C-alpha cells in the first residue's frame, strides 16, 4: 500500500528517487566499460560527479519533503510475486531515509574527491597504477548499494542494499588483496576481507530470519504494512515481534560492528583509508542504526528487545573504547573508536532515543570521516617522508620492508611537518572527545541525557566509554603530532595536496558546526525526523537538555585529556620506549593491546572447531567412511565377493560350468568325427547334392 499518493501541488521531486541508485550505477558502468581509456582525473571526476549528482537528488528530495512531510513511496517495478508474497522495487522517501541519503551522498562525495588525490599516490606506492579505476568503480557501486539500503520501501529491498554494501566492503577491504597492510606479499588483506564478509553474513542470517518470521506473522515485509498492523500483532502474538526484533539485532550487530560480531571492523582497516572513512566509519556501519530507527514501530512495542539492544550498544561502546586505548596503529585506534561510537548510537536507538541516535550518526559521519581522512593524510605524509629519507640516505634495500607508516610509534612532532593536517585532525579529535561546542558534544550529550532518563545502566557504561574516548584521542594527538619525530620518515613527512585537504576542510567545518543541526531548544533535526515516526504512530521521547549531564561529561573529557597529557604529552615518547600506560595498568594494558584476545577466542571456539569438523566430515565421514569404505568396500566388495567367490566358484564353476563343459565336450567329440565329411572339395559337395536330388526324385516316383 502506498502511504500517500504523490501530491499535486508544490515542488515535488519524488519521482527522482530511482535516480539515487541509477546515477552511481551509471558512473560505475562508465568507468568499468570505458575507464581503461580515461586518465585518472577523468575517472575520479566521473565517479565524484555521479556521487555529487546523487547528493543533489537527495537534496531535491529533502526539499520536496518540506512540502510533503509525510513522505511517499515511489514504486518502480515488481520483483518477487508469489501468492501472498508481493515484493517490489519501490523507494521509500521520508525524512528518516532522506537524512541517511544526505549523509551518505554528502560525505560520500567529499570522500570521492579526497580519494582522487589519495589513490593517486597509493596506487603508485604499491606499484599498480592500473588499479586506480577499480577503486572508483567499487566506490560508486557502494553508493548505489547504500542508496538501495536506505531508500528501500520493504525489508527485503533493504536487505539487497544491506548485502550489497557488504560486498563492496569485501571488495574494498581486499582492495590490495595480494599484500598485507605493510605491502608485503601475504593473504592478510584477503583474509580480512573474507572475515568481514563472513561476519556480516552471520548478521545477515539474523536479518533473514527476522524477515522470514515477519512475513509469516504480518504476511508482508513492506514497512507501511508491517507498521500498520504492528499494534494489533503485538497484542495477539507478542513473542513473534520479540523474535523479529532480536533476530534483527543480530543483523545490526553484524553490520554495525556490535558485540559479538564487531571483530571484522578493525581488520577492515586493511582497505585504503578513504574506504575506512566512507564505509567503515561514516556510512555502511551506521546501517544497523538506521535499521533499528526504521523498525522503531516494532521496537517500541517490546521493551525487552529495546533493553537488549541498548545494553549491547552500551557494552560495545565501553568494550571497544578500552581496546582503543591499547592500540598503536593510527587507524586501528580510530577503528575501535568507531565501534565504540556505533555502540553509542545503537544504545541510543535501542533505548528509544531515536533522534539522538540519528543525530550522533550524522555528526559522527562528519568527524569520523574527517579523522580517518586526516589519518590517511598522515600516513601518506609519513610514506612520502619515508621515500624521501630512503632516497637521501641511499639505503633503498630496507625500503618498504618492515616500515609501518601507520604505526604511531614511528611518528611524533608532525604538528610542524603537516600543519594543515594537524589542525584538521585536532578538530576531529575534539569533536569526537565531545568538547564544547563541537558537533560531537551536542550529539553525545543528547544521548547521555536521554540515557539518564531511559536506562541508567547504559548511561553509566556510556559515560565511562566517553571518558576513555577522550583519553585515547588525547593519547593519539600527543603521540602523533607532539614531541620529537621518532623515525626519520616522520621527520621528513610532507603535507598533502589540496585535492585532499579541501574536502577535509569542509568536513572540519561540518564537525565544528554540525551541532547546530539539533541544538537544544531549537531541535531542527528532531522536528524533521519526528514526522516520519509520527506517521507510523511512534511517540518520541521529548529530548531535554540536561545541564548536569553536560557538565559531568565535559569534566570527564577534560580530565581524560589531562591524564593523557600527563602520560604522553608532558614527557613525549622516545623511540623504542614502551607505552607508559603499561607501567600503570600492567596486565590490563596487555589485554587492551591484544584486544582482549577475542579473535583468538573465536578461533578457538568457533572457527577451528568448524574447520576440524568440516575436515572430519569431508575426509573421514564422507570420503573414507562413506565413499571408500561403504561404497567401495562394502557395496562393491560384497558384490565382488558374491560374483567372484559365491557365484563364480560355487555355483558357476562347480554347478553350471560342469554341466556346460560336459555338453561342450560331447559336442566337440562328435564334431571331431563329423568334420571328416567336410573335404573342402567343391565337387564332393556337388556330388552329395546330386545324390540328394536322385534320392528325392526316387522318393517322389515311388510314392
Partner 1 sequence: MTPELITFLTLALISIAAALGMLFSRNAVYSALFLIANFITVAIFYLMLGGTFIALSQIAVYAGAIMVLFLFVIMLLGAEKLGQSQTLAWQRPLAILLGLGLLGELGYMLATRPEMLTGGGATPESFGSPLEIGRLLFREYLLPFEVTSILLLVAMIGAIILTRREKTRV
Partner 2 sequence: MLPVSYYVGLSAVLFTIGALGVLIRRNAIIIFMSVELMLNAANLAFVAFARAHQALSGQVFVFFVITVAAAEVAVGLALIVAIFRTKHNIDVDQLSSMKG
Partner 3 sequence: MDSVFHPLTLVTFFPLLGVLAILFVKPEKKNAHRWIALVTSLFTLGISLWVLAQFDASNPDLQLVINLPWIQVAGWNIHYALGLDGLSVLLVMLTTFLTPISILSTWTAIEERVKDFMIFFLMLEVGMTGVFLAQDLFLFYVFWEFTLVPMYFLIGIWGGPRRMYAAIKFFLYTMAGSLLMLLAILWLGINQGTFNVPELVAKGGIPADIQMWLFLAFATAFAIKVPMWPLHSWLPDAHVEAPTAGSVILAGVLLKMGTYGFVRFNLPLFPAAAIKAAPWMALLAVIGILYGAAVSYAQRDIKKLVAYSSVSHLGFVMLGLFALNPQGIQGGILQMINHGLSTGALFLLVGMVYEQTHTRDFDVYGGLWKLMPVYGTLTLIVALSSMGLPGLNGFVGEFTILLGAFGSDAIGSPWYAGFAAAGVILAAVYMLYMFQKMFLGPEGSIVAKVKEHGHALRDLNAREIITLVPLLVFIFWIGLYPKPFFTLMAPAVDKLVALLQATAVAMH
Report d(CA 110, CA 551) in Å as an integer: 34
Compare residues 635 and 694 and give the one whose CB is closer to partner 2: 694
Which of partner 2, partner 1, partner 3, none interacts with 680 (beta carbon under 5 to 8 A by kind)? Answer: partner 2
| CB nearer partner 3, residue 222 or residue 554 | 222
Spatial distance between the Cα atoms of 312 and 291, rounded to a whole number of angstroms: 15
**Is the Cβ–Cβ distance between 363 and 442 less than 8 Å?**
yes
Nearest to partner 1 of 37, 683 (CB atom) = 683
Which one of partner 1, partner 2, partner 3, none interacts with residue 167, CB within 5 to 8 A by kind? partner 3
**Which residues 6+ apart lie within 8 Å of 432 measured at CB?**
337, 341, 367, 368, 371, 440, 469, 473
Q: Is 85 one of the binding residues for partner 3 (CB under 8 A)?
A: yes
**Enclosing H/E stretch for 219:** none
The answer to whether residue 208 forms part of the interface with partner 3 (CB under 8 A) is: yes
Which of residues 109 and 213 has its CB atom nearest to partner 3 in the complex?
A: 213
d(CA 271, CA 266): 10
Residue 308 binds which entry of partner 2, partner 1, partner 3, none, CB below 5-8 Å type-dependent: none
- Binding test (CB under 8 A) with partner 3, winner from 33, 78, 522, 594: 78
Place of cell 560336459: 662
Which listed option, partner 1, partner 2, partner 3, none, makes contact with residue 701 (CB within 5 to 8 Å by class)?
partner 1
Grid cell digits, residue 406: 601507520
Binding at 677: pick from partner 3, partner 1, partner 2, none (beta carbon under 5-8 Å per type): partner 2
Question: Per CB under 8 A, does 201 bind partner 3?
Answer: yes
Classify residue 462 by burial, with Cβ atoms within 10 Å: 0-12, 13-18, 19+.
buried
CB of 644 to partner 2, least distance (A): 38
Q: Which residues face 89 on adjacent strands?
A: 77
Measured CA distances, 203 to 163, 252, 595 (Å): 10, 7, 21
Among candidates 152, 146, 151, which has minimal Cα distance to 88?
A: 152
- Contacted by 187, from partner 3, partner 1, partner 2, none: CB < 5 to 8 Å by type: partner 3
Name the minimum Å distance from CB 690 to partner 2: 6
Sign of the CA dihedral with 318 first, then 205, 598, and 183 last? negative
Q: Which is nearer to partner 3, 393 or 619 (CB)?
A: 619
Please tell me whether residue 701 binds partner 3 under the rule CB under 8 A: no
Secondary structure letter of residue 482 according to DSSP: S
Residues 631 to 690: which contact partner 3 by CB under 8 A? 631
CA dihedral for 648, 649, 650, 655, sign (positive or negative): positive
| Residue 600 CB neighbours (<10 A) | 11
Q: Which stretch binds partner 3 (CB under 8 A): 296-304, 542-550, 605-613, 694-702?
A: 605-613
602: contact with partner 3 by CB under 8 A: no
Q: Are 61 and 16 in contact (CB under 8 A)?
A: yes
Which range, of 195-203, 325-333, 356-364, 486-494, touches partner 3 by CB under 8 A?
195-203
The partner in contact with residue 676, picked from partner 3, partner 2, partner 1, none with C-beta cut-offs of 5 to 8 angstroms by kind, is partner 2
Instruction: Give residues 340-399 in contact with partner 3 (rule: CB under 8 A).
Output: none
DSSP 8-state secondary structure symbol assigned to residue 541: P
For residue 692, the minimal CB distance to partner 1 (Å) is 11
Bond into 137 cis (ω within 30): no
Kindly state whether residue 328 participates in binding partner 3, applying the rule CB under 8 A.
Answer: no
Residue number with CB closer to partner 3 (241 or 380): 241
Told to check if 26 binds partner 3 by CB under 8 A, we report: no
DSSP sequence for 307-350: HHHHHHHHHHHHHHHHHHHT--BHHHHHHHHHHHHHHHHHHHHH
CA distances to 43, 184, 324, 351, 380 from 409, in Å: 36, 20, 15, 39, 16
Q: What is the DSSP letter of 603?
A: I
User: 385 and 491 in contact (C-beta within 8 Å)?
Assistant: yes
For partner 1, the closer CB: 498 or 692: 692
Cα–chain center distance at 419? 34
Among 56, 62, 160, 307, binds partner 3 (CB under 8 A): 160
C-alpha cell at 161: 542494499
Place of cell 565544528: 512
How far apart are CB 695 and partner 1 at their closest, in Å? 10
Residues 207/188, Cβ–Cβ less than 8 Å: no
Q: Determine the 3-state secondary structure of 650 from DSSP.
A: helix
Q: How far is the CB of 683 from partner 1 (least distance, A)?
A: 6
- DSSP 8-state code for residue 579: P
| Least Cβ distance, residue 507 to partner 3 (angstroms) | 31
- Identity of the residue, 213 or 322, whose beta carbon is nearer to partner 3 in the bound complex: 213
| Chain position carrying cell 560331447 | 666
Residue 453 interacts with partner 3 (CB under 8 A): yes or no? no
Is residue 148 within 8 A of residue 160, CB to CB? The reply is: yes
Strand, helix or coil for residue 499: helix
Cβ 692 to partner 2, closest distance in Å? 12
Q: Which does 691 bind (CB under 5 to 8 A by kind): partner 1, partner 2, partner 3, none?
A: partner 1
- Residues in contact with partner 2 by CB under 8 A are 674-683, 686-687, 690
Which run of H or E residues covers position 86?
A: strand 85-93
Stretch that binds partner 3, among 153-161, 454-462, 555-563, 654-662 (CB under 8 A): 153-161
Q: CB under 5 to 8 A by kind: which of partner 1, partner 3, partner 2, none does 682 bind?
A: partner 2
Count the helix, strand and coil residues of the chain and give each as a percent rounded to the nearest 5.
Answer: 80, 5, 20
Return the range that interacts with partner 3 (CB under 8 A); candidates 77-85, 262-270, 318-326, 435-443. 77-85
By C-beta, is 671 or 702 nearer to partner 2?
671
Instruction: Considering only the stretches 204-212, 395-403, 455-463, 530-538, report the one whose residues sit in contact with partner 3 under the rule CB under 8 A.
Output: 204-212
- Nearer of residues 668 and 683 to partner 1, judged by Cβ: 683
Interface residues toward partner 1, by CB under 8 A = 681, 683-684, 687, 690-691, 693-694, 697-698, 701
Start-to-end CA distance of the chain, whole Å, equals: 107
The entry of partner 3, partner 1, partner 2, none that residue 675 binds, CB within 5 to 8 Å by partner kind? partner 2
698 binds, among partner 3, partner 2, partner 1, none (CB under 5 to 8 A by kind): partner 1
Picked from partner 2, partner 3, partner 1, none, the partner binding residue 668 (CB below 5 to 8 A depending on kind) is none
Position among 209, 426, 453, 516 found at the interface with partner 3 (CB under 8 A): 209
Q: Of residues 59, 62, 202, 502, which one binds partner 3 by CB under 8 A?
A: 202
Binding status of residue 128 toward partner 3 by CB under 8 A:
yes
Q: In the bound complex, what is the minimum distance in angstroms from residue 701's beta carbon to partner 1?
A: 6
Q: Count interface residues toward partner 3 (CB under 8 A).
A: 54
* CB burial string 275-289: b at 16+ within 10 A, e below: bbbbbbbbbbbbbbb
CB 103 within 8 A of CB 46: no
Q: What's the DSSP call for residue 652? A: I
Return the CA Rg of the chain.
36
Query: Which residues contribute to the site for partner 3 (CB under 8 A)?
Result: 77-83, 85, 128, 156, 159-160, 162-164, 167, 170, 174, 177-179, 185-187, 189-191, 193-194, 197-198, 201-202, 204-205, 208-209, 212-213, 215-216, 610-611, 613-615, 617-619, 622, 626-627, 630-631
Amino acid at each position: 500500500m502506498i502511504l500517500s499518493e504523490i501530491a499535486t501541488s508544490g515542488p515535488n521531486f519524488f519521482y527522482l528517487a530511482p535516480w539515487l541508485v541509477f546515477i552511481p550505477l551509471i558512473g560505475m558502468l562508465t568507468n568499468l566499460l570505458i575507464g581503461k581509456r580515461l586518465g585518472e582525473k577523468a575517472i575520479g571526476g566521473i565517479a565524484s560527479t555521479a556521487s555529487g549528482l546523487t547528493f543533489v537528488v537527495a537534496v531535491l528530495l529533502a526539499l520536496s519533503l518540506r512540502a510533503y512531510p509525510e513522505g511517499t513511496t515511489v514504486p518502480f517495478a515488481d520483483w518477487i510475486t508469489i501468492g501472498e508474497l508481493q515484493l517490489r522495487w519501490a523507494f521509500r522517501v521520508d525524512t528518516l531515509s532522506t537524512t541517511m541519503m544526505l549523509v551518505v551522498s554528502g560525505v560520500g562525495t567529499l570522500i570521492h574527491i579526497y580519494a582522487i588525490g589519495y589513490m593517486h599516490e597509493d596506487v603508485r606506492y604499491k606499484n599498480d597504477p592500473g588499479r586506480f579505476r577499480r577503486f572508483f568503480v567499487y566506490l560508486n557501486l557502494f553508493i548505489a548499494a547504500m542508496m538501495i539500503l536506505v531508500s528501500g520501501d520493504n525489508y527485503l529491498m533493504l536487505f539487497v542494499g544491506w548485502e550489497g554494501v557488504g560486498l563492496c566492503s569485501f571488495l574494498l577491504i581486499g582492495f590490495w588483496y595480494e599484500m598485507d597492510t605493510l605491502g608485503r606479499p601475504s593473504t592478510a588483506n584477503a583474509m580480512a576481507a573474507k572475515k568481514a564478509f563472513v561476519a556480516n553474513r552471520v548478521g545477515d542470517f539474523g536479518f533473514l530470519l527476522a524477515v522470514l518470521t515477519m512475513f509469516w506473522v504480518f504476511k508482508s515485509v513492506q514497512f507501511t504494512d508491517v507498521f500498520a498492523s504492528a499494534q494489533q500483532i503485538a497484542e495477539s502474538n507478542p513473542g513473534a515481534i520479540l523474535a523479529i526484533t532480536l533476530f534483527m539485532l543480530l543483523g545490526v550487530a553484524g553490520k554495525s560492528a556490535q558485540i559479538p560480531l564487531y571483530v571484522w571492523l578493525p581488520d577492515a582497516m586493511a582497505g585504503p583509508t578513504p574506504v575506512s572513512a566512507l564505509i567503515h566509519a561514516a556510512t555502511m556501519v551506521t546501517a544497523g542504526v538506521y535499521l533499528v530507527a526504521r523498525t522503531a514501530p516494532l521496537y517500541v512495542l517490546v521493551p525487552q528487545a529495546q533493553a537488549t539492544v541498548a545494553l549491547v550498544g552500551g557494552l560495545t561502546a565501553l568494550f571497544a573504547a578500552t581496546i582503543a586505548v591499547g592500540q598503536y596503529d593510527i587507524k586501528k585506534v580510530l577503528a575501535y573508536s568507531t565501534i565504540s561510537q556505533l555502540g553509542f548510537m545503537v544504545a541510543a536507538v535501542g533505548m528509544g532515543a531515536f533522534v539522538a541516535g540519528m543525530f550522533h550518526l550524522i555528526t559522527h559521519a562528519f568527524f569520523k570521516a574527517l579523522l580517518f581522512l586526516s589519518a590517511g593524510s598522515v600516513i601518506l605524509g609519513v610514506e612520502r617522508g619515508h621515500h624521501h629519507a630512503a632516497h637521501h640516505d641511499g639505503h633503498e634495500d630496507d625500503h618498504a620492508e618492515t616500515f609501518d607508516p601507520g604505526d604511531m610509534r614511528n611518528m611524533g612532532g608532525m604538528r610542524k611537518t603537516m600543519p594543515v593536517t594537524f589542525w584538521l585532525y585536532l578538530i576531529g579529535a575534539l569533536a569526537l572527545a565531545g568538547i564544547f561546542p563541537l558537533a560531537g558534544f551536542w550529539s553525545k550529550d543528547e544521548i547521555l541525557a536521554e540515557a539518564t532518563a531511559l536506562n541508567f545502566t547504559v548511561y553509566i557504561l556510556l559515560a565511562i566509554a566517553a571518558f576513555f574516548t577522550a583519553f585515547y584521542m588525547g593519547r593519539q594527538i600527543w603521540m602523533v603530532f607532539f614531541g620529537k619525530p621518532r623515525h626519520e620518515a616522520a621527520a621528513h613527512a610532507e603535507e598533502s595536496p589540496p585535492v585532499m585537504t579541501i574536502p577535509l576542510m569542509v568536513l572540519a567545518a561540518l564537525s565544528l558546526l554540525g551541532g547546530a543541526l539539533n541544538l537544544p531548544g531549537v531541535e531542527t533535526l528532531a522536528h524533521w525526523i519526528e514526522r516520519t515516526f509520527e506517521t507510523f504512530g511512534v511517540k518520541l521521547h521529548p529530548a531535554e537538555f540536561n545541564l548536569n549531564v553536560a557538565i559531568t561529561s565535559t569534566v570527564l573529557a577534560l580530565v581524560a585529556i589531562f591524564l593523557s597529557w600527563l602520560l604522553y604529552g608532558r614527557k613525549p615518547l622516545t623511540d623504542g620506549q614502551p607505552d607508559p600506560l603499561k607501567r600503570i595498568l600492567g596486565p590490563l594494558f596487555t589485554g587492551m593491546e591484544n584486544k582482549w584476545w577475542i579473535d583468538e577466542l573465536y578461533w578457538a571456539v568457533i572457527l577451528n572447531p568448524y574447520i576440524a569438523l568440516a575436515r572430519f566430515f569431508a575426509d573421514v565421514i564422507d570420503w573414507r567412511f562413506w565413499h571408500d569404505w561403504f561404497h567401495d568396500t562394502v557395496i562393491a566388495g560384497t558384490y565382488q565377493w558374491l560374483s567372484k567367490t559365491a557365484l563364480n566358484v560355487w555355483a558357476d564353476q562347480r554347478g553350471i560350468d560342469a554341466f556346460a563343459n560336459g555338453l561342450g565336450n560331447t559336442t566337440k567329440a562328435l564334431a571331431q568325427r563329423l568334420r571328416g565329411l567336410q573335404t573342402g572339395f567343391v565337387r564332393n559337395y556337388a556330388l552329395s547334392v546330386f545324390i540328394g536330388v536322385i534320392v528325392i526324385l526316387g522318393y517322389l516316383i515311388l510314392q
